[in-house]
Amino acid sequence: MIEITNITKTYASGFTALRDVNLTIKKGEIFALLGPNGAGKTTLISAICGLVEPSGGTITVGGFDTKKEYRQARSLIGLVPQELFLEIFETVWSTMTYARGFYGKKDDPELYEQILRDLSLWDKKDEKIQALSGGMKRRVLIARALTNEPAVLFLDEPTAGVDVELRREMLDVVKDLQKRGTTVILTTHYIEEAEELADRIGIISAGEIKLVEDKDALMKRMGHKTLSLNLVQNLEKLPVGVQQEGVALSPDGSQIHYSYKTGANSGITTLLSSLKEAGVAFEDLDTEQSSLEEIFVTLINQK
Ligand SMILES: Nc1ncnc2c1ncn2[C@@H]1O[C@H](COP(=O)(O)OP(=O)(O)O)[C@@H](O)[C@H]1O
Ligand SMILES: [Mg+2]
């Protein structure tokens, strides 16, 4: 869907916000671009959407060069910007018609109705924007971007500064869009969001793409698990035979924790047999997968 080749961006100030970015976005996927503030997420999205001119490199959207075939490329894109830009005295409906006109496409009331219904905005269609709640305004921003019937939708920090409930709603809206075949690229610095939504994750830091990987594979590769065994009888210290790397006794002596890398040589068999030999019995156990958050912090700090 999108092919980004050797993109760099140095702003007029001399600041380089993107360094040799290469990235391919597949059709129909949800791609999360994850990175701390100032990493270059908005700059990269703006470059793809033709709002920022790259200093070098090429980008194609649906095969169209964003520079030489700007119109064709742009016609495939919907952008939900980071900031709330809405005409507050307009109604929801007129926002839709205006946006469609802006994209240079023919007025299409049936399309607006479909979009507004899908986003649960239909009963608000004649309301002025200023009368809407923050959550509804966010939805209008998405609805507006959808008037272009985009093959690919960009959401730049869609949930920045929104409350928990609204965030939940936004995530559901994004999942729904994907179900209907839209390619979605979202930027976020909320790791849980990427963890929940994305098919693939790209990590950007200081203008460089550090990693692009299938989310599940990334979680598996980088992930650690912790095994917790609830002991039948509290221990004062770990028996000698049980002292293998990654094994620790909880402060109150009631649990043994074992932190291990997921995969073949996990060391669990060794642990269990040494427990048996030492005569330590447990009544139940728990495993916990490390979150993407830990993985992310590790990666950013590594480089
Ligand atoms: N117009 C500009 N002129 C100069 N520097 C800019 C401009 N826009 C953004 N930057 C800088 O580029 C870096 C990346 O910004 P941005 O792409 O907005 O990051 P993000 O969206 O990941 O927070 C930041 O250090 C920012 O200050
Ligand atoms: Mg940004």
Cβ(202) – ligand 1 distance below 6 Å: no
* Topology of the domain comprising 2-219: Rossmann fold (3.40.50)
Q: How far is the CA of 37 from the centre of ligand 1 (A)?
A: 9
Higher pLDDT, 64 or 224: 64
Instruction: Place 297 in a pLDDT band, splitting at 50, 70 and 90.
Output: confident
Give me the pLDDT at residue 82, please: 82
Instruction: Place 78 in a pLDDT band, splitting at 50, 70 and 90.
Output: very high
Query: Over 70: is that where the pLDDT of 218 sits?
Result: yes
Give me the pLDDT at residue 264, please: 64
Cβ(38) – ligand 1 distance below 6 Å: yes
- Which residue has its alpha carbon closest to ligand 1 atom 24? 38
Which ligand ends up closest to the CA of 51? 1
Residue 43 alpha carbon, nearest atom of ligand 1: 17
Which ligand ends up closest to the CA of 36? 1
* Percentage with pLDDT > 90 across the chain: 63
Query: Over 60: is that where the pLDDT of 303 sits?
Result: no
Most confident of 28-42, 82-96, 219-233: 28-42
Which ligand ends up closest to the CA of 81? 2
pLDDT tens, position by position, 169-212: 788 888 988 998 999 999 988 877 888 889 999 999 999 999 99
Give me the pLDDT at residue 302, please: 62
Give me the pLDDT at residue 70, please: 92
148: which residues sit within 8 A by CB, 6+ positions away? 75, 77, 78, 99, 100, 103, 105
Residue 40 alpha carbon, nearest atom of ligand 1: 17
Cβ(104) – ligand 1 distance below 6 Å: no
Q: How far is the CA of 242 from the centre of ligand 1 (A)?
A: 52
Query: Over 90: is that where the pLDDT of 105 sits?
Result: no
What is the end-to-end Cα distance of the chain in Å, rounded?
Answer: 29
pLDDT tens, position by position, 231-241: 999 999 999 98
Query: Over 80: is that where the pLDDT of 120 sits?
Result: yes
Cβ(186) – ligand 1 distance below 6 Å: no
Pick from 1-10, 200-209, 210-219: least confident: 210-219
Residue 204 alpha carbon, nearest atom of ligand 1: 22
Cβ(41) – ligand 1 distance below 6 Å: yes
What CA–CA distances, in Å, run from 135 to 111, 120, 146, 167? 22, 11, 17, 9
Tally of CA atoms within 13 A in the half-sphere of 303 that contains its CB = 14
Give me the pLDDT at residue 5, please: 98
Q: Strand 200-205: give its sheet, edge to edge.
A: 77-80, 152-156, 183-188, 30-34, 200-205, 208-214
SS3 159: coil
Which is it for strands 200-205 and 208-214: parallel, antiparallel or unpaired?
antiparallel
Question: Span 6-22, mean pLDDT?
Answer: 97
pLDDT tens, position by position, 16-51: 999 999 999 999 999 999 988 899 999 999 999 999
Check if 2-219 and 223-302 are the same fold: no
Cβ(150) – ligand 1 distance below 6 Å: no
Q: How far is the CA of 9 from the centre of ligand 1 (A)?
A: 10
Give Cα 137 to chain centroid, integer Å.
21
Residue 35 alpha carbon, nearest atom of ligand 1: 22
Cα three-residue angle 210-212-217, rounded to 5 degrees: 125
Which stretches of 47-129 are assigned E, i.e. beta strand? 56-61, 64-65, 77-80
Place of tokens 């709603």: 169
Q: Is the pTM of this model over 0.85?
A: no
Give me the pLDDT at residue 146, please: 93
Q: How far is the CA of 235 from the centre of ligand 2 (A)?
A: 51
Give the residue extent of every domain in the chain: 2-219, 223-302
Burial of 261 (0-12, 13-18, 19+ CB in 10 A): middle
194: which residues sit within 8 A by CB, 6+ positions away? 32, 34, 188, 201, 215, 292
Give me the pLDDT at residue 155, please: 93
Higher pLDDT, 264 or 271: 271
Q: Angle formed by the axes of helices 109-118 and 92-102, to 10°?
A: 120
Say if residues 224 and 290 touch (Cβ distance below 8 Å): yes
Cβ(9) – ligand 1 distance below 6 Å: no
Give me the pLDDT at residue 294, please: 72
Question: Span 236-264, mean pLDDT?
Answer: 88
User: Which of the four CATH numbers 3.30.70, 1.10.150, 1.10.20, 3.40.50 does domain 223-302 have?
Assistant: 3.30.70
Question: Span 58-83, mean pLDDT?
Answer: 93
Cβ(40) – ligand 1 distance below 6 Å: yes
Place of tokens 């390619």: 183
Place of tokens 């649906």: 62
